Amino acid sequence: MRQSQLFTKVSRELPKDETSFNAQILIRAGFIDKLAAGVYTYLPLGLKVLNKINNIIREEMEAIGGQEILMPALTPKDNWVTTGRWETLDVLFRLKGGDEREYALGATHEEVVTPLAQKHTFSYKELPFAVYQIQTKFRNEMRAKAGLIRGREFLMKDLYSFHADEEDLNRYYKIAQKAYFRVFDRVGLLDRTYLTFASGGTFSKYSHEFQTVTEAGEDTIYICDDCQIAVNAEIIDEQPGCPNCDKTELREAGAVEVGNIFKLRDRYSKPFDFNYTNETGERKIVEMGCYGMGPSRLLGTVVEVHHDDRGIIWPEAIAPFKIHLLSLAARPDDRVSEAANKLYVELVNSQVEVLYDDRAGLSAGEKFAAADLIGCPIRLVVSERSLKDGSVEMKRRTEQEAALVKLEKIVKVLSS
Ligand code: ATP
Ligand code: MG
């Protein structure tokens, strides 16, 4: 994409009334725009990253048999009354429809997915199965000061699994845990993300959170470095040591909950009377699990973790573009411009994702600063100086030193 065509601009100024680092830098670099506290627009660059995160999650959910669906965000009151959560879920946005009926904006989807799955499940032959969606959720969060980490409108991947018995739920729960770590690996957060024991499983002793260590985190966890697992501060009294090896000296750290999985058992199947017929003709309750992950929170967390004082440093798998090509042409018709244009076309034709800074009237310093702020993994610079050597200058965002690469070799180097 040509940067001259990009309708958003980078900004040197810190956005007003935005205190979180991730939102500040994403707004300055032109990835998102803030509409209200906890409510953001994804601009072209930001949406590219979000879509890449979503696709990674999608691939890993499909790999464990998840079938993608899309449920409504507008949900009728009755479903919430059935489970008791119309009264108890404090973050629920409740509203009246024109038909005088009441609705809630979906904050989570057990109330929709349970009766949905019920319509398609009759006997043990249909079980197990899992469905998931990547969808906008609404929560009336008290504190929405952490940028993308805590939105009032945000994206969630929620997968729900349905089983004939507890044993099968336990089997799938472990498979899902592994899939979660594959996602964190691919988005560049694996080395600081811990399987964390948390209270709050309705029918099991623990639920499991996936906590990513960063100063921006609102949660406190206690890490066992031997086992690579952690305990959430909220249960630490109940579970004062490592749940795996009983080590008592745990390391305290701030962290962001990027995922959360629960064995729901019959918490939702019971109120909806969701039963199936087993092999011997008996009616049995369906066992459920739910598995949440926040793509928009992941995006914010990646930025909190991967940056320096000049800007974002995107992991390649989720970068908006792999390459940022800068033309330092003095005029739109000089030989620098011509060489940069030619290289841009070659890269596009070779399916290399490239953002091309072809903007006129900017200094080299301004272009370098914008490239560092936006944070694509590789920067290419075509200038009078590089052309003297028949080359383009190449530098990784993570490195200080640039290297010259011959123009005729660069496409091959980049696409290998
Ligand atoms: P928290 O404790 O941080 O409020 P939660 O436990 O209420 O989160 P879940 O209901 O388990 O969150 O939601 C599943 C996932 O959705 C979370 O692990 C997180 O990644 C994401 N998520 C939850 N709330 C938000 C939010 N307000 N903004 C962005 N992402 C969120
Ligand atoms: Mg949670």
Centroid of ligand 2 to alpha carbon of 209 (angstroms): 6
For ligand 1, atom 31, name the residue with the nearest CA. Answer: 294
pLDDT digits (tens, 9 = 90+) for 297-345: 999 999 999 999 999 999 999 999 999 999 999 998 999 999 999 999 9
Centroid of ligand 2 to alpha carbon of 257 (angstroms): 7
Give the residue, out of 195, 256, 260, with the most ligand 1 atoms within 8 A of its beta carbon, to mutate for a pocket test.
260
Query: What's the confidence (pLDDT) of residue 17?
Result: 86
Query: What's the confidence (pLDDT) of residue 43?
Result: 98
pLDDT digits (tens, 9 = 90+) for 231-253: 999 998 888 899 999 899 999 99
Instruction: With cut-offs at 50, 70 and 90, classify the pLDDT of residue 179.
Output: very high
List Cβ neighbours of 8 (8 Å cut-off, separation of 6 or more): 30, 43, 44, 45
Distance CA 347, CA 409 (A): 12
Instruction: With cut-offs at 50, 70 and 90, classify the pLDDT of residue 206.
Output: confident
pLDDT digits (tens, 9 = 90+) for 247-288: 999 999 999 999 999 999 999 999 999 999 999 999 999 999
Distance CA 409, CA 343 (A): 11
Instruction: With cut-offs at 50, 70 and 90, classify the pLDDT of residue 14.
Output: confident
Centroid of ligand 2 to alpha carbon of 234 (angstroms): 11
The answer on pLDDT for 204 being more than 70 is: no
Nearest 5°: phi and psi at 244?
-95, -45
DSSP 249-314: --EEEEEEEEEEEEEEETTTTTTTT-EEE-TTS-EEEPEEEEEEE-HHHHHHHHHHHSEETTEE--
Residue 158, strand partner residues: 133, 292
Query: What's the confidence (pLDDT) of residue 416?
Result: 74
Centroid of ligand 1 to alpha carbon of 344 (angstroms): 41
Shortest-distance atom of ligand 1 to CA 139: 27
Structure tokens at 213: 């260590």
Q: Which residues surround ligand 2, an ion (CB under 5 A)?
A: 260
The answer on pLDDT for 48 being more than 60 is: yes
Centroid of ligand 2 to alpha carbon of 206 (angstroms): 11
The answer on pLDDT for 84 being more than 90 is: yes
What is the model's pTM?
A: 0.97
Shortest-distance atom of ligand 1 to CA 108: 10
The answer on pLDDT for 186 being more than 70 is: yes
pLDDT digits (tens, 9 = 90+) for 108-142: 999 999 999 999 999 999 999 999 999 999 999 99
Centroid of ligand 1 to alpha carbon of 347 (angstroms): 39
The answer on pLDDT for 201 being more than 60 is: no
For ligand 1, atom 13, name the residue with the nearest CA. Answer: 292
Q: Which residues line ligand 1 (CB under 6 A)?
A: 108, 139, 141, 150-151, 154, 156, 257-260, 292-294, 296-297
The answer on pLDDT for 202 being more than 60 is: no
- Report the chain's mean pLDDT, rounded to a whole number: 96
Q: Which long-range contacts does 221-227 make (Cβ < 8 Å, 24+ apart)?
A: 221/194, 221/196, 221/252, 221/253, 221/255, 222/250, 222/251, 222/252, 222/253, 223/194, 223/250, 223/251, 223/252, 223/253, 224/250, 224/251, 225/251
